[in-house]
Amino acid sequence: MAAARSKRFPGETDDYRRARNHLLQSEVKLRRQIEAVATERRRLPLGGEVRTDYEFQSADAAGEGVNTVRLSELFTPGKRSLFVYNFMFPERVGSMTPCPSCTSIIDAIDGASRHLVHRIDLVVVAKAPIERFRDHARKRGWRHARLVSSAHNDFNRDYGAEGPDGQQFPLAHVFQRRGKKIRHSWSSELWFAGPDPGQDMRHVDFMWPMWSILDCTPEGRGKTWGPQLEY
């Protein structure tokens, strides 16, 4: 910490440096707290066994046809962790418009997935038919993230990403494969905890780098701005 506190930038005042050093101490504490929470998350016992080998719609290798893939088949050889993101793209509710916020997330994750799949498996699940989801992906220029549709199964509802009226919710999940069994490991349950005053749930901010960048600026996140499909 001493070396970091001695760093000064051109033109800064003593008042700025004192305030920045105080903030730096807070940032170090936050870094330690983030790691402490991550360690606690890794130490979770395995959750419930997945008793349904859900069938999803998937695009074929050429990206044109449609085939069926089971949850167990989303695990590739040598990997035992599967990260799933529930993308809000309704099958029936409203106009079937893909969620702008979820789109913003996958805009970033699509590129990161090329790196992630060297350690884990990753899939993005939407309730809309795979043809619609695939068309949206093409418009956005996504090329790497694996996309599947849950239009014909109860995965979203069983794992908290769908309401009784078919409304879709953005949740992240981790599943673990142990031998022939698949177990639920973790989900972004901050969604169910509700937001703090003046905030959104922030339950999937860990995979949404846009907000972390804005948090570094004096403007911050703002009160009303949010990502859009078109600007």
- Ranges of each domain in the chain: 1-6+15-42, 55-187
What pLDDT, on the 0 to 100 scale, is given for residue 90?
A: 87
Helices and strands in the chain, H and E counts: 7, 7
Nearest of 107, 227, 229, 120 to residue 177 by alpha carbon? 120
74-97 confidence digits (pLDDT tens): 999 999 999 999 999 987 655 679
pLDDT at 230 over 80: yes
140-163 confidence digits (pLDDT tens): 999 999 999 999 999 999 999 999
DSSP 222: -
171-205 confidence digits (pLDDT tens): 999 999 999 999 999 999 999 999 999 999 999 99
Q: Kindly report the CATH number that applies to the domain delimited by 55-187.
A: 3.40.30.10
SS3 51: coil
